[in-house]
A and B are shown apart, each in its own frame.
Chain A
């Protein structure tokens, strides 16, 4: 048991050191990729609160990511001087509110109906972003200027510097992932898992199935909205691609490749997806084809996703032998 504790701490420390010093190790152009991975990692974690914990597959999850992105972009442009944290918070809250609205109609349904109704709502959001040109600028999208960060007594920090942007993004992503992780350890997090396992039995034990599902779904919307805000900050731009069906499907594929059964699985999927895409799109325009092959291979031959390859049991066994 002791060794397991040290093993987990060792892993944690190694990963923490790696992400902290990453911009120093890799070339500047790759820092852009790293930031994108961070943002999608947060998005994937929020997505998996619904797929992994609640056991419900939302096909239109980009609705909340896109909502956060649009609200953040509008605030950047129309309310200049708003502190970055406030803008990101507004993005997150808009994700929360839209998820409460969508969830109210969707979480009662199961299986395919749930998946498709969330997709329908996402397409509705997409249509609004597309047609309401006065506000959203339609498919031309909106440009955004990254603000400077002011630290009282320390001066200001330009986010045009990519390393600074990396660390600011890292801060908010870690905050979001930590919130989701701690959530999974609470009684409410356990209630969510019980919904996945057997919601009928849970209701006969006194669980309000609808309210539990709606709460978890909305919380996931909050985190997705935060990721959307960070996405705008990074891209300096928002367009309908942030809220379209392709974005919804991308997050499904990322999460499933990584593995939805364990908390950190989807992050692994995001890392793989992004690096693979970065590498193979240099070689061919048909990179979706190859990604499709990978997806099929994972679904057919690697139940549990990439994370199931990381099997710590063997390491634990070795450690326990060393102890005895």
Chain B
């Protein structure tokens, strides 16, 4: 069953066509990568799905429900969560409190003002469980802004994972990491997204081919092809898009 369905989506920014008639289906349980050269519209597509932008035309369905016009926070509450290409956390809060923000939201306590946060055993336990899972217990009480870049990427993953989403969307999760770090990070992603549906935008081809079950190639705002890694590897059009026409 398609958990995410993008139907005839167009997007233009004051006349500049960024996405042209994009159709995409993500099946439950698969790891789906979106690749394409710079400026192909990957990030725009990402932002449309997660509610940051609204499409000029077309509709987007998540779990069978139309989310095209829903605000960001409602889409997030439905179980669709995303990470960011650039570091995007709560800088002056500790790692624990960063994750706790997600857990509070998961338990729908965002507007609770008749209880003390520090006394909630449930929230503490759940937050620590996430830290354990992601492997950040050692920096639990460190401010997010004081973490190394690699650990901040890890926190980004923790924030995305903490709500226990149905669909996780990672926007260049390994951007800025070196080869060794990238390899470890891919293992971590595989581990924490076990059994979940994953959509990932990535530049690094090693990451894409190491992680994805299916790949969609985007070029000049249009979908070139969707297929398994092997199909993509042998596709002539994809080669052209990446290597240029000769």
A positions within 8 Å CB-CB of B? 182-183, 185-191, 193-194, 197-198, 200-209, 211-212, 215
Q: List 6 A-B contacts (CB under 8 A).
A: A188-B110, A198-B89, A202-B101, A203-B73, A205-B162, A209-B73
Q: State whether B101 touches A205 (Cβ < 8 A).
A: yes
Q: State whether B116 touches A186 (Cβ < 8 A).
A: yes
A188 touches which one: B100, B106, B112 (CB < 8 A)? B112
B positions within 8 Å CB-CB of A? 50, 71-73, 76-77, 81-82, 84, 88-93, 97, 100-102, 104-106, 109-118, 120, 159, 162-163
Q: State whether B104 touches A191 (Cβ < 8 A).
A: yes
Q: Nearest A residue to B156 by beta-carbon distance?
A: A201
Q: State whether B116 touches A185 (Cβ < 8 A).
A: yes
Q: State whether B113 touches A187 (Cβ < 8 A).
A: yes
A194 touches which one: B90, B112, B116, B120 (CB < 8 A)? B90
Chain B nearest CB: distance from A168 CB in Å?
A: 27
CA A133 to CA B163, docked complex, whole Å: 56
Contacts A200-B88, A204-B50; A185 near B73 (Cβ below 8 A): no
Q: State whether A198 touches B112 (Cβ < 8 A).
A: no
B73 touches which one: A182, A188, A207 (CB < 8 A)? A207
Cβ–Cβ < 8 Å partners of B115 in chain A = 186-187
Q: State whether A187 touches B76 (Cβ < 8 A).
A: no
Interface majority SS on A: helix, strand, loop or mixed?
helix
Cβ–Cβ < 8 Å partners of B163 in chain A = 205-206
Chain B nearest CB: distance from A52 CB in Å?
A: 12
Besides the known contacts A194-B93, A198-B90, 9 further A-B residue pairs in the complex with CB atoms under 8 A apart: A185-B116, A186-B113, A190-B104, A197-B93, A198-B91, A205-B159, A205-B162, A206-B105, A206-B163
CA A253 to CA B71, docked complex, whole Å: 37
Q: Nearest B residue to A202 by beta-carbon distance?
A: B101
CA A211 to CA B73, docked complex, whole Å: 11
Cβ–Cβ < 8 Å partners of B50 in chain A = 204
Q: State whether B110 touches A201 (Cβ < 8 A).
A: no
Cβ–Cβ < 8 Å partners of B113 in chain A = 183, 186-189
Q: Nearest A residue to B101 by beta-carbon distance?
A: A194
Chain B nearest CB: distance from A315 CB in Å?
A: 21
The 7 lowest CB-CB distance pairs between A and B, nearest first, are A197-B90, A206-B105, A188-B113, A206-B76, A187-B112, A186-B113, A187-B109
Q: Nearest A residue to B82 by beta-carbon distance?
A: A204
Q: State whether A191 touches B93 (Cβ < 8 A).
A: no
Q: State whether A201 touches B73 (Cβ < 8 A).
A: no
Cβ–Cβ < 8 Å partners of B90 in chain A = 194, 197-198, 201-202
Q: State whether B82 touches A190 (Cβ < 8 A).
A: no
Cβ–Cβ < 8 Å partners of B159 in chain A = 201, 205
Most B CB contacts (10 A, CB to CB) among A190, A206, A208 go to: A206
CA A215 to CA B97, docked complex, whole Å: 22
Q: State whether B89 touches A191 (Cβ < 8 A).
A: no
CA A190 to CA B102, docked complex, whole Å: 11
Cβ–Cβ < 8 Å partners of B88 in chain A = 198, 200-201
Q: Nearest B residue to A183 by beta-carbon distance?
A: B113
CA A203 to CA B101, docked complex, whole Å: 11
CA A257 to CA B8, docked complex, whole Å: 56
Chain B nearest CB: distance from A49 CB in Å?
A: 13
